[in-house]
Structure 1
Amino acid sequence: MDLLAIADFNLVATHGGVGRASRASGRPKATLSRRVAELEESLGVRLFERGSRNLRLTEEGRALHERTTVLLTEVAHVAEDIGSGTERPRGRLRVSAPSLFSHLAMGRIAAGFAAAYPDVRLEVTVEDRSVDLIEEGYDVVVRVNPDPDEVLVGKRFLRDELLMVAAPSLVRPPKRELDASPVRVVVLTTARENDEWTIVNGSESLTLSPDPILRLGTLTMVRDAVMAGAGAALLPRSLVTDDLAEGRLVSWGKASRKDTEIWVLYSSRRLLSSKVSAFVSYLGTTFPEGSPDELGAMARR
């Protein structure tokens, strides 16, 4: 595919017409019109609806414009950086991050990153849903226990273990009672039904049946409900470290299931820009050991 034709198409699409694009860029109108027509012919689709006074993008044209504008901008930045002998990160960097991680650490991470890379304009959106990085225009996503994805690549920068915790007033039943009857627990709304919990406490291993009396939307809400005595819960150690140390919660043991992993991911179908590379590296240096203690310490600062 002719990248010059795509660049000319985006120029016309951005300015809303061949004449305006020609005046803004200094390129001949005839050249722009020919390039767009050749691109339409090679793709076999119409990219513009042509009216008497202006051009309007078709659905196919809009999709092509949205998906190639960022790529061409990245190519231009890479070429400019190479030409000037530098790879200085710059431009807008859109990041999607989950709420708990953002609450504990993202403010300080963002401030430190902005100080280290003043030419990057960081924009962080907090949401627990799995966003579509490509379709929604994000450069980077932070995800908890992400599923394998052929479109996304990245690195794990934090690992956190799950503890079963409860308020001190909620005494852990003896092993024989845990084996015999369900345990009142608080879970996330996304928790699976009929999911047995196996808890390890020293050499003792317990398998119990949880009875979810509350289903709440965030881990912070779950922690608050547990401290109020509603039931026990599985919570990340980084979230409850202070509560355990100060006696607001007690631990019944560590969950035997896989630890929680936090990953930073970006698209494998885009050029790895210097701003994305800088952000990924910055997370790695912020959490060099990948330990939940580092996240908890950052939240306490």
Structure 2
Amino acid sequence: MDLLALADFNLVARHGGFGKAARAANRPKATLSRRVAELEADLDLRLFERGARTLKLTEEGRALFERTGALLTELDETAKAIASGGHSPRGRLRISAPLLFSQTALGKLAAGFVLKYPEIQLEITTEDRAVDMIEEAYDLVIRVNPQSDENLVGRVFLRDRLVVVASPNLPRPVGREPVPAVIRGSMTQAESWEVATPAGKSRLATKPVLSLSSLIMVRDAVRAGVGAARLPLSLANSDLAAGTLVSWGEVEEFETSLWALYPTRRLLSARVSAFLDYLKAAFPQGTPEELAAYIEP
């Protein structure tokens, strides 16, 4: 198999078209089209479905892209490291991360990482959806309590707990009186929160009064006294210590775990390894208190 033709196929697959790939690599579009056609003839496989305005990978093309993309990247990195006489990580590192962790900690983490590894071009996008790492060309994703995926491996680097918090000026309801609740996401019907306190477990009936899309917005609304909310301990810790918020108990059935995920262990790039090591050094114990201390102003 012609490795150069395989590299051109990966270039076109990654960019989703011959034109985009040609512009990105500053290569003639006709050359890329010819090289991919030669690879298809060599393999006796159709790798792309070609429409009038669209270009889509076939099932065989997707399998080839998924299995060879990381290998070609690893070969390129190895060649560059040998040519430079060193093994310092270099090149582009694309990461997808959830909104809250990005807003509170990832800016500081990213800056420190780039200062330590100046030859890495770090690119981070913030989104809570489950991205397709292969198709969208991510090297690593950070996710909260991800679903099991046999195509991904990774590690937990942080754990957090939920705590019900309120302004000290908001009286805690007695009996079955509902709690005015600030919630994240769409407004839902009344529910109850089971919390654990030093005095034992109790159940709080709720009445949603405000729905917001960000937990930072939820925290700010709770500070203003509009209602109580369930927040990650790491996000509420400084307010609890300062007395601007008070705890009504921990939510026992909820624990959040932040995972760093990547497609394969065998071909783990030096860039991804360096970022994983940096995460571990930043949060050696992986506790909510550690994250809270990291994001303190």
TM-score by length of 1: 0.80
Structure 2 runs not aligned, ≥5 long: 13-17
The structural deviation recorded for 1:41 is 5.5
Equivalent in 15, 28, 32 of residue 16 of structure 1: 28
The answer as to 2:135 corresponding to 1:123 is no
Separation of aligned partners in 1, 2:46 and 2:226? 60
Are the structure 2 counterparts of residues 113 and 35 from structure 1 closer, same or farther at C-alpha, using a change threshold of 3 Å?
closer
Distance verdict in 2 for CA 1:38–1:226, change over 3 Å: closer
- Counterpart check, 1:135 vs 2:135: yes
Instruction: Give the 3 Å change call, closer, same or farther, for CA 291–38 of structure 1 in structure 2.
Output: closer
Match of 2:291 in 1: 295
Cross-structure match for 1:28: none
The corresponding residue for 2:178 is: 182
Q: Displacement, 1:262?
A: 1.1
Deviation at residue 211 of structure 1 after TM alignment: 2.0
The CA deviation at 1:192 is: 7.0
Instruction: Tell whether 2:253 aligns with 1:267.
Output: no
**Is the contact between residue 97 and residue 143 of structure 2 (CA under 8 Å) also seen in structure 1?**
yes
Q: Does 1:154 align with 2:144?
A: no
Q: Structure 1 residues 203 and 39, CA, compared in 2 at 3 Å: closer, same or farther?
A: same
Distance change >3 Å, CA 9–CA 267, structure 1 → 2: closer
Q: What CA distance in whole angstroms lies between the structure 2 residues aligned with 1:46 and 1:140?
A: 26
The reply on whether 1:164 has 2:164 as its aligned counterpart is yes
Q: CA deviation at 1:221?
A: 0.7
Distance 1:134 1:154 in 2: 15
1:59 has 2:56 as partner = yes
Opposite residue 265 of structure 1, the aligned amino acid is: L
Superposition pairs of residues 95-244 of structure 1, within 5 angstroms: 95-174=95-174, 177=175, 180-189=176-185, 195-244=191-240
* Distance across 2 between alignment mates of 1:89 and 1:166: 46
What displacement does 1:10 show? 5.5
Summarize the Cα distance change of 1:119–1:163 in structure 2 as closer, same or farther, 3 Å threshold.
same
Q: Which amino acid is 2:125 matched to? A: T
Across the aligned residues of Structure 1 and Structure 2, the Cα RMSD in angstroms comes to 3.2
Where 1:147 maps in the other structure, the secondary structure is: coil
1:37 partnered with 2:35: no
In structure 2, give the amino acid aligned to 1:209.
Answer: A
- Contact persistence 1:9–1:36 (CA under 8 A): no
In 2 relative to 1, CA 2–276 (structure 1 residues): closer, same or farther, beyond 3 Å?
Answer: same
Q: Of the candidates 242, 245, 250, which is equivalent to residue 241 of structure 2?
A: 245
1:256 and 2:252 equivalent?
yes
Q: What is the SS of the residue equivalent to 2:253?
A: coil
Q: Distance in 2 between matches of 1:194 and 1:171?
A: 19
Quote the Cα distance in structure 2 between the aligned partners of 1:10 and 1:144. Answer: 30
Quote the Cα distance in structure 2 between the aligned partners of 1:226 and 1:11. Answer: 49
State the partner residue of 1:52. Answer: none
Q: In percent, how many aligned pairs have the same letter? A: 47
- For the residues of structure 1 that align with 2:217 and 2:47, how far apart are their CA atoms? 51
Asked if 1 retains the 8 angstrom alpha-carbon contact of 2:2 and 2:39, the reply is no
Greater Cα radius of gyration, structure 1 or 2: 1
- The residue type equivalent to 1:88 in the other structure is S
Shift of 1:149: 1.6
Query: Are the counterparts in 2 of residues 96 and 124 from structure 1 also a CA contact under 8 Å?
Result: yes
Corresponding residue number in structure 2 for 1:27: none
Moved more, 223-232 or 183-192: 183-192
Deviation at 1:83, TM superposition (A): 6.9
Q: Which amino acid aligns with 2:258?
A: I
TM-score between both structures, scaled by the size of structure 2: 0.81
Q: Which residue of 2 aligns with 1:25?
A: none
Report how far residue 76 of structure 1 moved. Answer: 1.7
